[in-house]
Homo-oligomer: A and B are copies of this chain.
């Protein structure tokens, strides 16, 4: 039985970890860390867990926690994990960080986009980028995994095979992404009030969103060159789901069947990536509550562009689900343990 500690258990991503781990056969949450709700019953904060979780919220003492659990998930604001982590901790426990602290290899890029000083750059080299389908091998032996961002997971997986195969012109890549509101977290902010979000759609963070360098770095590895791209997130009046619509020029004439074959050769055996037929566009509702990434595409011969589309549940494959998938890999569990979640429709 894997003993699990969660720091940040009362944010939406933390709560999703709790939901998923409740169905994991070989893992048990021992520590529900939440600075804001210390000493309150967890089920009073998330009443969906009434009679399922009986625990009380704890503080976020990572040192103490490290001695008690096999793995710590940090579902915390940027900078917190980096400020707490140290060699002692990593020698005692594994860490899966759901924040951005260890996603970018270049500390200066991190500091430029996140506007905070990185407190533990010494672990950047060691940290493994936890995009399971791409870095499976390295994840298995990692002590510290940087769990990818929600937009980035969706954006990267959707373009990866074509980037890797040189089928798309990386300079032409534009990612227009749409997210449900849970991605904005559970903080009580005016902009996230029901009446402000409902019956509304807007772009935000245009040309400046922090997931941009993360996508660029990973697709850069795929393409074998530095990548600079446009990424625009939008806020959609729904709770869950990310849809990424990605545009790129094709580098040569290909048929839809050839593209489909490329996707299948990369993802055909992946349980959590479903490449749709050539006539279907992914919809976020089809993956809601599950760890799936649904991918579709359409070639536009008029413009010689391909439009790639990917859909995930931002809290599952985009956060907690992928974190558990990483945990499974790190502990030699069946990769899908606890993640056999069937998408809920409607």
Contacts and interface: CB of A to CB of B under 8 A. Distances in A.
Contacts of A47: 276, 280, 283, 286, 294
A194 B243 contact: no
Interface string A309-346: 10100000000000000000000000000001011111
Given A47-B294, A195-B346, 19 more contacts: A12-B346, A19-B342, A48-B286, A48-B344, A50-B274, A50-B294, A52-B342, A176-B245, A178-B178, A180-B199, A181-B193, A181-B194, A192-B194, A198-B238, A200-B284, A203-B245, A203-B281, A206-B300, A236-B236
Contact of A190 (B186, B232, B237, B245): B186
A288 interface: yes
A188 interface: yes
Interface of A: 12, 15, 19, 22-23, 46-52, 172, 174, 176, 178, 180-182, 186, 188-190, 192-204, 206-207, 228-230, 232, 234, 236-241, 243, 245, 247, 274, 276, 280-290, 294, 298-300, 302-303, 305, 307, 309, 311, 340, 342-346
A195 B186 contact: yes
Contacts of A309: 203, 206
A244 to B, nearest CB: 10
A228 B22 CA distance: 43
Nearest to A206: B298
A307 B207 contact: yes
